[in-house]
Amino acid sequence: MNFKVKNDTFLRALLRQPTEYTPMWMMRQAGRFLPEYRETRKRAGSFLGLCKSPDFATEVTMQPLDRFPLDAAILFAPVGALIPEALRHTAKGGTVVCAGIHMSDIPSFPYFILWGERKICSIANLTRRDGEEFMKIAPQAKVKTEIETFKLEQANDALTRLRIGRIRGAAVLVMD
């Protein structure tokens, strides 16, 4: 699989280079419910098969960019078994960052894959303060939100539509 970068704004910002605007990405954890993701995972044979194949991992990472005009795609998986695999592919002195709110246990691994001053760290994300700061700058970034409301009795319908990729934006349950 060979993808061409269409929007390098996020990469330039990471390199502290000038950009025309402040780039933005938002994590979406429901990718596993997208039909195209499920098809790719089926072709990969398993979740670990998907993660260990650069072609499959790239494909599922790029899928949201086909649906939405985002500045970046970040591969996210709260699976501890991926940490030793990530360390094996990290250059000496590099860091594996765990940004999940929850992660399954990290299995034991041989010291040699950590050797070479490789690091594992976790970062806290999406705190109340992060949300407040984001809401202050959202109007400047021209963030456009899309929501679809459902009565509480329609919760199952909302979940079904979310699973099959029929909701664009957020589904909000409203209690009368």
Residue 145: what are its φ and ψ, rounded to 5°? Answer: -100, 150
User: Considering its fold, how many domains does the chain have in total?
Assistant: 2
- Please report whether residue 3 resides in a domain: no
Task: Please report where in the chains the tokens 């979310």 appear, as a residue.
Answer: 162
Kindly state whether residues 171 and 103 are assigned to the same domain.
no
How far is Cα of residue 149 from the mean position of the Cα atoms in its chain? 24
The conformational region for residue 121 under phi > 0 = left, psi -120 to 50 = alpha, else beta, is beta
Does the pTM of the predicted model rise above 0.75? no
Asked whether residue 149 is assigned to any structural domain, the reply reads yes
Residues 149 and 167 in one domain: yes
- In-domain check, residue 93: yes
Domain co-membership, 136 together with 149 = no
- Do 49 and 68 reside in the same domain of the chain? yes
Give CA–CA dist 58/5, Å, rounded: 12
Same domain, 48 and 109: yes
82 domain-assigned: yes
Let me know whether 74 and 154 are in one domain.
Answer: no
Domain span at residue 165?
A: 145-176
- Do 157 and 134 belong together in one domain? no
* N- to C-terminal Cα separation, the chain: 49
* 44/110 same-domain check: yes
Which DSSP state fits 56? H
Residues 19 and 64 in one domain: yes
Residue 50 CB contacts under 8 Å (≥ 6 apart), including other chains: 40, 41, 44, 56, 57, 60
Q: What is the pLDDT tens value at each position of the chain, 176 positions in all?
A: 444 555 677 767 767 788 887 766 544 444 666 788 889 989 999 887 887 776 787 777 767 667 766 655 555 566 777 788 778 877 788 777 776 666 778 889 999 988 888 888 776 656 677 777 777 777 777 767 788 889 888 988 988 888 777 887 788 888 87
- Shared-domain flag, residues 133 and 149: no
